[in-house]
Structure 1
Amino acid sequence: MTTTELLRAQRQADQFGRAVAMRLTAGAEEMPYETRERLRAARTRALALRKTPAKAPVVVGRGGAATLALGGDEPSLFNRIASVLPLLALAAGLVLIHSIQTDRRASELAEVDAALLTDDLPPAAYADPGFVQYLKSSGRTE
């Protein structure tokens, strides 16, 4: 909901409350004094016990970084843990990716080495510049 819609809804709720209060006040004058006093006391208690609106999360800028404040001045243990967990997950993901990449590179190099050692040509033939020209002219690529 946008801010405009929230303000409109709040205004409508206030208007409804005023209309209900006017009706109750108009009908209260016909009641006995004791009943009116009990109703007034009940209304006062209801207003005192009325729920206060919950604090909404607020984005607060601190030192060039935006943080999500869940109300309160001192961050709780849960907020501290919740702010560190994404960083730990990111670090663990980077370590995992590095490990997988290293294993994949090692297995690719092992395949190339195995192909060179099991091939009919000696490994020195691949280092010869004339052999590369031979492969290009014959259309054979390895």
Structure 2
Amino acid sequence: MNETEFARRIREHLNFGACHLDRKVLTRLEAARRQALAGLAVEPAHEHAWQWATAGHGRHGSHPTLRRWLPLAMLLALLAGALYWQQTFHTPDEDVDAALLADDLPLDAYLDHGFQAWLERSSQR
């Protein structure tokens, strides 16, 4: 049972019970309901999600242009940060290859028989 079906069933039970009430009581209940609904300001659900970003108070204090451009600005800042990180902390493959080729081999590499066999096979080609 979903939320709409549940609300419909509750409404039916309340309406059935209201049939047996006095007319004076029904009038007072209807007036109280209207008063409660008049004071209720219905806001769309997405308004609450944007309140943290706009520093406003719901529909009255938030700026629609800011709500529209803030996600795009955040995305651009994220992309700029990723590009900066990649250029700053990424070592190009050519630098790694040059460092490996210019470096001396450790002594353990010469003692490795598999490495010796690989050197002999590659030199015969």
TM-score, length-scaled by structure 1: 0.45
Larger Rg: 1
Could you say which structure has the higher helix fraction? 2
Could you say which structure has the higher strand fraction? 1
